[in-house]
Structure 1
Amino acid sequence: MECDGRDACAEFKLGEGETAVFALDQAGSAIAPRGCAHAEAEHEFNATVAYWRRWLQQSRYRGRWREMVHRSALTLKLLTYAPTGAIVAAPTTSLPEQFGGERNWDYRYVWVRDAAFAVYALLRLGFSGEAEAFMRFLTTHISPGDGAASGPLQIMYGIDGRTDLPERELPHLEGHQGSAPVRVGNAAADQLQLDIYGALIDSVYLFDKWAQPISSAQWDDVTQLVEWVCEHWDQPDEGVWETRGGRKNFLYSRLMCWVAVERAIRLANRRGLPAELLRWRQTRDAIYRRIMDRGWSERRHAFVQHEDGDVLDASVLMMPLAKFIAPTDPKWLSTLDALTEELVSDSLVYRYDPRVSPDGLRGDEGTFSICSFWYVEALVRAGRVDEARLAFEKMLTYANHLGLYAEEIGRTGEQQGNFPQAFTHLSLISAAFNLDRALG
């Protein structure tokens, strides 16, 4: 083995039937090879395989595309930091959304939204242990009792619960295929993103429904979050896509505030828990009317990206998925047609068009894979099952040889953005589950 600064390299050739074991240990600051007997290596390998097979046996999924669904579940598990239950968005930083461009971000953190959606996907398959671990992370690090009730929750945290995530550039690194800058930390941690409340409270609601009842202390936390939403839901924010072009009244943010209040009402009613139900219902209904009045464009015959605008955005695909609107409502079907015409390219979905909706950054990006799987689900719920199956199976062809996805897919089918991406894999699970059920 040869060491050159931070790099270590070793070469050896194997003939047919030969095997070799190569192991690296880090002791202090030195990295050195160590001896490892074939028997020891075989034991470690077999123990690893047995662990993952035992873990997968917990899955209740018996439908179609099981291999891809279970591969996605394994990915979500591997994105989980075992000591705290934190689920990161991706294990990489600065893999570009456009080769040679500046859309390069550090995703090695716990986004409240991404992790909450991951909990939904894991619960759907029967992996309640991981959901329980994340609930502990929430209680320990994201509890309103820590002062969050007087201000907005931070949108992301370190895997150990830290909140200070300053963004800086590493100019001595050229980046993947010359895509600079390489960033460490993420300035989006300081953004206001109101949608996280809906994702978070929905995950608590589903955990209570599918895993185990939440505690009285957890309910106290939920009520504080809902009260904050009731006071602040109508503020402009940076939105789900973390745009750096200024705050707007994004429809998706309103939608998920509605989800936050609506799920809390459901949970209170089902469990008989104390709540300001009259105030909550009034807020829920006010958000609904605001979306229907100002999120709808008569000119486009579609729900749009932000209030009183005409720009389309794939995030509105969540409207029927979140049960805000019936999936066969004429307004929704018209929206689905508009999205298909403008943002869908051969079943792959762009999240928005940066040319008509400036986001404060230069360059373009690929299709956004979570939106492509949301599109599949929206088609399923609208009764267009054959279209949904075709779109889903096309998406499966874009995975790499290990069944893994990055955040985006480029114009020529290449993976773009950080990899592997929790967002993509959790939405694959949800789309597969609902499409399989629709197919019977």
Structure 2
Amino acid sequence: MPQQPPIADYAFLSDCRSGALVGRDGSVDWWCPTRFDGPSVLGRLLDPRAGHWRLAPVTPGRVERAYRPGSLVLRTVHHTATGSVAVTDALAAGPGARGHELGLNSPAVLVRVVEGLTGRVPMRLDFAPRPEYGRLTPYLHERPDGSVLATAGPVVLALRGGGPLRVAGDRVRCDVTVAAGQTVGFDLAYGAAYGDPPARLDPVPTLADTVRAWEAFRETHRYDGEYADLVRHSATVLTGLTYTRSGAVAAAATTSLPERLGGDRTYDYRYSWLRDFAMTMRALWVAACPEEADRLFAWAARSAGRIGEAPVPVLFGLEGERELAERDLGHLRGYADSRPVRVGNEAWRQRQLDVPGEVILAVWRLHEYLGETFDTEIREMVVDLAEEVAGTWRLPDRGMWEARDAERHHLSSKVFCWVALDRAVELAPRLGKRADPVRWAAIRDEIRATVLRAGWNEQVGAYTGVFGSAELDASALLLPLVRFLPATDPRMRATIAAVERELGAGDGLVRRWPTDPAAFLMCSFWLVECLVLAGEPERGRAVFERAVTHANDVGLFSEQVDPVSGAQVGNTPQALSHIGLISAAWRLTDPATD
């Protein structure tokens, strides 16, 4: 089997409904056309046999890539011995869509346009669709209009182009020479076997219209703080991970990319976590994306619903689904032979006590925007969450890193229980008659005293990840960020220093815990914020500027970075990594921000 490209080789395409990944070699190796968490029709990312669409020069050469400004439209220039061509790739916006309409009527069409720049370049197209995560090999039909129709199970795919498409066994081939000044377009359209047929679009004007849609969206993002280009690009990535129909933000566009090559920590991140909610809301507001923040807030309130006897849900499908049962796709080899390949995420069943605090923190941050009087749904949600915390904070849980072995008393979970009640007390005047700020304040103070006593490990000289444990955990860096302790507190200073010393992996990278196989980028950005709050902004700036060098050539971060090889690992692009960049850049701009 051929070696798979590095994760950093992939660029991200989005129509704000689904996502695709295209490599430096011109191969689209991941596309789930129905929505981010739907089945793939191109899945070579997870198995060389699971489908791809390659369009590139016959003879490879030097490659340069960049997104069109303010967009997720990718332009790749191939320099070969006989000339140069540019291939521009995009998931098409709906006809005439502008700004926040992007994604509402996406036609599920992948557009690829080849432009001759110099000389003459022989190009080759190789298309091997494999729907249902590679389980199906479709029938391929050459049509009178020159297109090829691929049909299998519930899927219909129509490939059209400016060259002679021919069926060769289980794939489609096309060879075309592109001369300077010549433009050749191709499009791949998805349709349901028993629904609407694939859309018919002209690739060249569709591409131009999609660029205009992204440009209109970019005009709504008006961040003017430090590292503006990085922040705006990260905001564009978050926009690309947004499922516009509901406002949910997917944690990543992929499933099962491993935290360590060959390892089994391979999870499906194509869903939306309530834990990420407050951090995402803050990042969107910092990046001046208020409409996205508003839609995300409405999605979270609707998805959480009434809080009952079961633990507060941890994550949801992109339209609010709760049942996300995890299963293994045993027929797939996995990226770099990393198994299992998972669909669904069993964390939806877990108790994670920090989640109510994350949600109430988001409401607190938005309280001025939400008005003097909250609507009934928000009032009920905050009160129910506060009551949930008041009754459960003493229980063990799986923690924010979603441990799969046992429940424990996690420091960060207890701190966010404190956050939930602390902010609920502040919000009490807007919460109606059911608010109980006196009782909440008493429990809040009890939680604080417990954390200060049980969370500190005298032998280690730091706050550790679990009560009674000697193991450091980078989540302790959250204490100053949620106002539990000032970063200048002597014990907090000691904890920051211990995390930097013991969990620092060099080059601005920070692991979550001592045996973590790779550095977690979000933790690096937490360290930046802590150093700024501790009165060391220049050290924080240095960590920031080293950490951002780990983006790939088109500015994307995966979840983690291998500190030895420098390779990106984990699902990509990872929303939390880009959220961390935005928050850290704003902290460097305005240290007093909440």
Flag whether TM exceeds 0.5 (same fold): yes
Query: Which runs of structure 2 are paired with 1:134-173 in the superposition (5 Å)?
Result: 134-144=296-306, 148-173=307-332
> Aligned match of 2:398 in 226, 235, 238?
238
- Separation in 2, partners of 1:199, 1:292: 20
CA contact (8 A) 1:254 1:287 kept: yes
Structure having the larger proportion of residues in helix: 1
Does 1:393 pair with 2:557? no
Equivalence map 1:182-261=2 (5 Å): 182-210=341-369, 212=371, 214-261=374-421
Q: What is the match of residue 350 of structure 1?
A: 511
Give the 3 Å change call, closer, same or farther, for CA 266–18 of structure 1 in structure 2.
Answer: same
1:299 corresponds in structure 2 to 459
On the 8 A contact 2:262/2:336 being kept in 1, the answer is yes
Moved more, 126-135 or 106-115: 126-135
Q: Does 1:132 align with 2:291?
A: no
Indicate if the aligned counterparts of 1:95 and 1:105 stay in contact, CA closer than 8 A. Answer: yes
Return the alpha-carbon distance in structure 1 between the equivalents of residues 553 and 543 of structure 2: 19
| Selected match of 1:374 from 523, 526, 537 | 526
- 2:517 alignment partner in structure 1: 365
Q: Match for 2:279 among 117, 121, 138?
A: 117
CA 1:280 to 1:340, structure 2 compared with 1: closer, same or farther past 3 Å? same
Q: Which of the numbers 406, 429, 436 marks the counterpart of 2:589?
A: 436
2:396 alignment partner, SS class: coil
Evaluate the alpha carbon distance shift between residue 191 and residue 2 of structure 1 in structure 2; reply closer, same or farther with a 3 A threshold.
closer
Post-superposition CA distance 1:238-274 (Å, at most 9, x none): 00001112111000000111111111111224x4744
Cα distance in 2 for residues equivalent to 1:90 and 1:8:
29
Residues 121 and 430, structure 1, Cα contact 8 Å, conserved in 2: yes
Asked whether 1:94 is paired with 2:262, we answer no
- For the 8 Å contact 1:22–1:33, the answer to whether it is kept is no
Runs of 4+ in 1 over 3 A off after TM superposition: 1-4, 6-13, 27-30, 32-37, 210-214, 271-274
In 1, Cα distance between equivalents of 2:272 and 2:351? 16
Q: Structure 1 residues 236, 8: closer, same or farther in 2, change over 3 A?
A: farther
Look up the equivalent residue of 1:207 and give its one-letter code: L
Report whether the alignment pairs 1:383 with 2:545: no
1:204 Cα shift? Answer: 1.4
> Equivalents in 2 of 1:313, 1:9: separation in Å?
51
Q: Is the 8 A contact 1:297 1:303 kept in 2?
A: yes
The secondary structure found in structure 1 opposite 2:189 is strand
Q: 1-side partners of 2:192 and 2:364: how far apart?
A: 45
AA paired with 1:150?
E
State the SS of the aligned residue for 1:397.
Answer: helix
Structure 1 residue 163: Cα displacement:
1.2
Instruction: Give 1:210 shift.
Output: 4.2
Closer, same or farther in 2 for the Cα pair 1:9/1:239, shift >3 Å?
A: farther
Equivalent residues of 2:255, 2:342 under 8 A apart:
yes
1:424 counterpart residue number: 577
Give the equivalent residue in structure 2 for 1:26.
Answer: 190
Residues 367-424 of structure 1 show CA distances to partners (whole Å, capped at 9, x for unaligned) of 0010011011111111111111111011111001111101000121111100011111
Name which structure has the greater RCO, CA cutoff 8 Å, separation 6+: 1
Which of 162, 171, 181 pairs up with 2:340?
181
State the alpha-carbon separation in 2 of the partners of residues 378 and 13 from structure 1.
55
Residue equivalent to 1:359: none
Q: Unmatched 5+ residue regions in structure 1? A: 355-363
Could you give the per-residue CA deviations for residues 272-325 of structure 1, whole angstroms, max 9, x where no partner exists? 744201111001101110100000111111111111221100001000000110
| TM superposition shift of 1:164 | 1.1
- The answer to whether the 8 A contact 1:85-1:133 is kept is yes
Determine if contact 1:123/1:210 at 8 Å carries over to the other structure: no
Q: Give the distance between the partners of 1:352 and 1:297, measured in 2 at CA.
A: 15
Question: Counterpart amino acid of 1:93?
Answer: T
2:441 counterpart residue number? 281
CA distance in 2, matches of 1:212, 1:427: 28
Number of residue pairs the alignment of both structures matches: 423
Whether the 8 Å contact between 2:487 and 2:530 is mirrored in structure 1 is yes
Q: Distance in 1 between matches of 2:589 and 2:476?
A: 23
- Displacement of 1:333 in angstroms is 0.6
Deviation of 1:113 after TM superposition, in Å, equals 0.7
- Code of the residue aligned with 2:505 in structure 1: it is S
Contact 2:231 2:287 in 1 (8 A): no
RMSD: 2.2
User: Could you say what secondary structure the match of 1:332 adopts?
Assistant: helix
8 Å contact 1:21–1:36 — kept in the other structure? no
Contact 1:149–1:225 (8 Å) recurs in 2: no
The one-letter code sitting in structure 1 at the alignment partner of 2:368 is K
* Aligned residue number for residue 328 of structure 1: 488
Give SS of 1:25's match.
strand
Secondary structure of residue in 2 paired with 1:225: helix
- Structure 1 residues 61, 34: closer, same or farther in 2, change over 3 A? closer
Equivalent residues of 2:425, 2:440 under 8 A apart: yes
Query: What's the secondary structure of 2:460's corresponding residue?
Result: coil
The one-letter amino acid paired with 1:365 is P
Distance 1:254 1:47, change over 3 A: same
| Partner residue, 2:3 | none
| Alpha-carbon offset, residue 3 of structure 1 | 4.8
| Mapped partners of 1:33, 1:163: distance in 2 | 30
The structure 1 residue matched to 2:207, chosen from 34, 38, 45, is 45
1:415 has 2:574 as partner: no
Deviates more, 1:253-262 or 1:207-216: 207-216
For residues 464 and 179 of structure 2, the distance between their equivalents in structure 1, rounded to whole angstroms, comes to: 60
User: Partners of 1:245 and 1:99 in 2: how far apart?
Assistant: 22
Alpha-carbon separation, structure 1, partners of 2:501 and 2:272? 34
State the distance in 1 between where 2:524 and 2:517 align.
14
Separation of aligned partners in 1, 2:295 and 2:171: 36
Out of 423, 427, 440, the position equivalent to 1:267 is 427
State how far apart, in whole Å, the 2-side matches of 1:8 and 1:219 are. Answer: 56
2:78 corresponding residue in structure 1: none
* Structure 2 residue runs without a partner (length 5+): 1-125, 130-136, 139-169
CA spacing shift, 1:141–1:437, aligned 2, 3 Å? closer
Q: 1:418 and 1:171 mapped to 2: Cα distance?
A: 19
**Match status 1:406 vs 2:558:** yes
Query: How far does residue 181 in structure 1 lie from its aligned partner after superposition?
Result: 1.1
How far off its partner does 1:216 sit?
Answer: 3.1
In 2 relative to 1, CA 279–391 (structure 1 residues): closer, same or farther, beyond 3 Å?
A: same
1:220-242 Cα deviation digits (max 9, x unpaired): 22101101100101110000001
Give the secondary-structure state (helix, strand or coil) at the position aligned to 2:366.
helix
- Alignment deviations for residues 28-55 of structure 1 (CA, whole Å, 9 cap, x no partner): 459x999754xxx343233322222222
- The CA distance in 2 between the partners of 1:61 and 1:135, in whole Å, is 20
Cα distance between partner residues in 2 of 1:417 and 1:34: 34
Task: Give, in whole Å, the separation in 2 of the partners of 1:163 and 1:35.
Answer: 35
Report the 3-state secondary structure (helix = DSSP H, G, I; strand = E; otherwise coil) of the residue aligned with 2:308.
helix
